[in-house]
Amino acid sequence: MGYYRNKTVLVTGAFGGFGLCFVSELLNRGASLILSDTPENVRAASEGMVQIPGAEGGRGRQVLSLIPADLSSAEGCRALHEEYRDLGIGLDMIIHNAGIACWGEYADVPPELNEKIIDINLLSVMRLNALFLPEIINRCGHIIYVSSVAGFVATPFGVAYSTSKFGVRGFAMALHGEIGKHGVRTTIVYPFFSRTPILKSRTFGNPAISYLPGFCSSSPGHVVSCALQGAARGKLHVFPGFFSRIMWLASRFHPVISAQRKIRGHS
């Protein structure tokens, strides 16, 4: 896919489950990468404890920089932007991928954690865009957002998470209405459950979660491959995999699903 060749791409959450798949696919497709993750993850990667897949040599296969940044605060987002600026290179694409989750009834989850989910999953996206937008507009770039099926289906036992992912979707669509005219592309990706470390996030209380059979969760590689293909085709919304598409269609035809209302009875 020639779309990514010679593009410079910033990936957040680069050493997580989806992150490493983005890295591998983008390197294979000839992109140059700036990778960011938590200071701990970047240290582990620098010390060789995390292998960067596909980074071993070859023309056009390059990781330009590893930037540690805790995206849970405005300072962390600024630090990432400042380190990027010091590189003195242009940027064609941002992949907003960093994220956290937890499971449990809203009242059982510590309020600071609910707020941290919003900080990392939503506010960091808004903050980074505010910082990087001039560069992205200047290069007629592309912004890819990793939302979730929880960004269009209100999801109990993941209230802050679902709020953050609805927020990302609304933010991305509204901003696209402003920056599309500058030639900037937007792609929002809505994965269903996928086998990455985030599925092992902490649980609080004793939520009545029914566990999904394994076949319902997709491989991270498949999700990322669909995301990059959709983005290269200029799609605004990408539903990677059968369950993501089914949930989207179900929520269109039966809006009660996305609103968590009973089909009969009061809302």
The footprint of ligand NAP (CB under 6 A) covers 13, 15-19, 37-38, 41, 70-72, 97-101, 120, 146, 148, 191, 193-194, 196-199
Q: Minimum distance from CB of 118 to ligand NAP (Å)?
A: 12
Nearer to ligand NAP, 90 or 242 (CB): 242
Ramachandran bin of 227, using left for φ above 0, alpha for ψ from -120 to 50, beta for the remaining angles: alpha
Nearer to ligand NAP, 32 or 41 (CB): 41
Q: Minimum distance from CB of 100 to ligand NAP (Å)?
A: 5
Nearer to ligand NAP, 18 or 166 (CB): 18
Nearer to ligand NAP, 16 or 30 (CB): 16
Residue 154 CA to residue 261 CA, distance in Å, equals: 10
Residue 95 CA to residue 187 CA, distance in Å, equals: 9
Q: Minimum distance from CB of 123 to ligand NAP (Å)?
A: 11
SS3 72: coil
Q: Minimum distance from CB of 14 to ligand NAP (Å)?
A: 7
The CA-atom distances, in angstroms, between 155 and each of 16, 103, 166, 188, 198 are: 23, 10, 10, 18, 16
Q: Which residues, 6 or more positions from 26, have their beta carbon under 8 angstroms from its beta carbon?
A: 4, 9, 11, 33, 228
Return phi, psi of residue 249, to 5°. -65, -45
Residue nearest to ligand NAP (CB): 16
Q: Minimum distance from CB of 83 to ligand NAP (Å)?
A: 13
Vertex 40 angle, CA 35 and 44, to 5°: 75
Nearer to ligand NAP, 137 or 219 (CB): 219
Nearer to ligand NAP, 141 or 220 (CB): 220
For residue 146, the one-letter residue type is V
217: which DSSP letter? S
Q: Minimum distance from CB of 137 to ligand NAP (Å)?
A: 24
213: which DSSP letter? P
